[in-house]
Amino acid sequence: MRTAPLRAAALAASLTLLLGSAAMAQDDRATFDSPYGPDDRIGAANNMTPDTVKAAAGLVTEGKVYPLGMVVDRETPAFPPRSVSVTVLTPNQGMGKTFGPNRGSYNDDIFHGWLGVGTQIDGLGHLGRDHVYYNNRKAEDLVNVTGLTDLGIEQIPPIATRGVLVNMAAHEGVEQLEGGHAISAQALQAALKAQGTSVGKGDVVIVHTGWMGLIGEDNETWGSTEPGLDVDAAEWLAEQGVVAVGADNWGLEAVPSADGESFFPVHVTLLAENGVYILENIVTRELVADGVNEFLFVLGPARVKGAVQMIINPVAIR
């Protein structure tokens, strides 16, 4: 019996029924109108232009390239219940079999896991309010067990723009901010002013908190709380027209939230309300060590249709 397809069909039917029932019960759901029009799918990526790309390319003066993605394996801590693993195979090569007169051989691999592990980008279909997502896309029209039917990762354009690193840990005079430390708009602006950096339309802003230093040292603390942005800071960054906001932690925002109850309010503010992408677990240590505050930021996410988020390895070039 083909139980897997039957289970998938049953789950899809249940999900559709659940979302449809929720929709009928929530006529007063949130609305998130895009300033780029009712058909927009890429959000703040609209703020990138040929001129912003050329200006960002002008920041490259040394040619030094920084990988901003972390190495991911079976032991990488992640937001529960997420995990990843890789299984390597040598198909049809038992007993040392080879192929062709040149005795060729090959390895292949199978990926098992969640796409929101390690360094990642959150797409615009990730978080919403009342099951309404960016530009008023509703869950009953969007969510399918085989992939999002809209706002999937494949719709994110390549990102090549000015990157700005804000060293909040240094601004506060510490190696690592405390878990739960909320970074306000005022604090963010003060740190930018202190390091002589501004934020402009089309930029990608990355916040250094020092929190990634806990990985492998205290994974339990790392995943149970974190320093990060508050809603005020997220709103201010969105007002500046940034394309994406990231940090060297697992969820960008302060956990717990300011009221101790709201469910990832910064995510909702950036993704659903403003179409600003979120970058998590960004490796900032090399940029910090070299005192780099602005650079060319480049990212081309894997175009997996219908995916909500994606493991990434963006690069900074100076």
Predicted confidence (pLDDT) per residue in 103-145, tens digit: 999 999 999 999 999 999 999 999 999 999 999 999 999 999 9
**pLDDT in the model for residue 28:** 83
pLDDT digit string, tens, across residues 258-299 = 899 999 999 999 999 999 999 999 999 999 999 999 999 999
**pLDDT in the model for residue 19:** 54
Is 241 within the bounds of a domain? yes
Average pLDDT score over residue span 161-190? 98
**pLDDT in the model for residue 21:** 54
Is 107 within the bounds of a domain? no
Is 95 within the bounds of a domain? no
Q: Where residue 196 sits, what CATH number does that domain have?
A: 3.50.30.50
Q: Which residue has the higher pLDDT, 19 or 1?
A: 19
Residue-number span of the structural domain to which 212 is assigned: 36-71+115-317
Average pLDDT score over residue span 193-214? 98
Is 128 within the bounds of a domain? yes
In the chain, the number of structural domains is: 1
Is 137 within the bounds of a domain? yes
Cα 169 from Cα 166, distance rounded (Å): 9
Is 197 within the bounds of a domain? yes
Is 166 within the bounds of a domain? yes
Asked if the peptide bond before residue 81 counts as cis, ω within 30 degrees of 0, the response is yes
